[in-house]
Structure 1
Amino acid sequence: MVVGCLGDMVFEVSEETIETIDNVTWSGSARYSAHQRHNMNALTEFTGIDPDKMSFTMVLSAELGVDIIPEIVKLWNIERSGKAVPLVIGERPYGKYRWNLLRHSAKYTRHDKRGNPTEAEVSVELQEYITR
């Protein structure tokens, strides 16, 4: 069963594969300016909203049916292309439009006898991409 996606990277749970996300954090912020006044309190002014950010982790494991390197390459391709991609978790699309992948990191935690990674902890950080 598909439980979500980031562009063409599919998060799924089936008899053959388990590839899901964990530790999801969704954050946003507003911008304010302070206008200094002589011998008076500064005035604050709301100047806009920063793009939302989202981060999550994944454990990619060959024992759970995931081909690790191609999945990390998918993230690398999204990041390096600058392409804005949709993010869906469960039945819900997140954000107003799409997301840019700002950074990822992959920590190989297990290897086979030939040195190929068999398990990796992957962290992803996204920033909301909004059209005009």
Structure 2
Amino acid sequence: MAMIGCLGDIAFTVSSSVVRTLDNFQWSGSARYAAHQRHLGRGLLEFTGVDPDKISFDMTLSTQLGASPAREISKIAKYESEGRTLPLTIGSKAYGTYRWVITGHSVKAKTFDRRGNLSVVVVSVNLQEYARR
């Protein structure tokens, strides 16, 4: 089994029985500036800090590849609604300064089985960095 990384206890892994990998990984950050207006002159910018980083990615979950789409979606939604902070590790690198929270997710159902159960889904997950106080 090859462990690619994890978000809390949600493992990104590839093995003979399970495939759960990331796709479209995006990491962004931004800085904050205040503009001070000066009489008859140009405004003066002042650096006031940085905003929390954001990460988004997609996961394809398929019952044919050993995943349980309904269970994984439920776990992601639970972590989001509880505001649980989760470490994010990919390879040997821990991302962020502390932990991450799930700020949103969306599910695109690709296929259903003959009983109407989700068979293949693409879950898009949005994270925001959660710094220590």
The question of a shared fold, defined as TM-score above 0.5 by the shorter chain, is answered with yes
Q: Distance in 2 between matches of 1:53 and 1:17?
A: 28
Structure 1 portions without partners, runs of 5+: none
Which structure dedicates a bigger proportion of its chain to strand?
2
Q: Distance in 2 between matches of 1:79 and 1:7?
A: 12
Q: CA deviation at 1:46?
A: 0.2
Q: Secondary structure at the match of 1:78?
A: helix
Q: Distance in 1 between matches of 2:50 and 2:20?
A: 33
Q: Distance in 1 between matches of 2:56 and 2:16?
A: 27
* RMSD between superposed Cα atoms in Å: 0.7
Moved over 6 A (4+): none
Q: Secondary structure at the match of 1:118?
A: strand
Answering whether residue 110 of structure 2 is matched by residue 103 of structure 1, we say no
Answering whether residue 46 of structure 2 is matched by residue 45 of structure 1, we say yes
Structure-1-length-normalised TM-score: 0.98
Structure-2-length-normalised TM-score: 0.97
Q: CA deviation at 1:44?
A: 0.4
Letter in 1 for 2:30: S
Answering whether residue 62 of structure 2 is matched by residue 68 of structure 1, we say no
Structure 2 portions without partners, runs of 5+: none
The share of aligned pairs that are identical, in percent, is 52
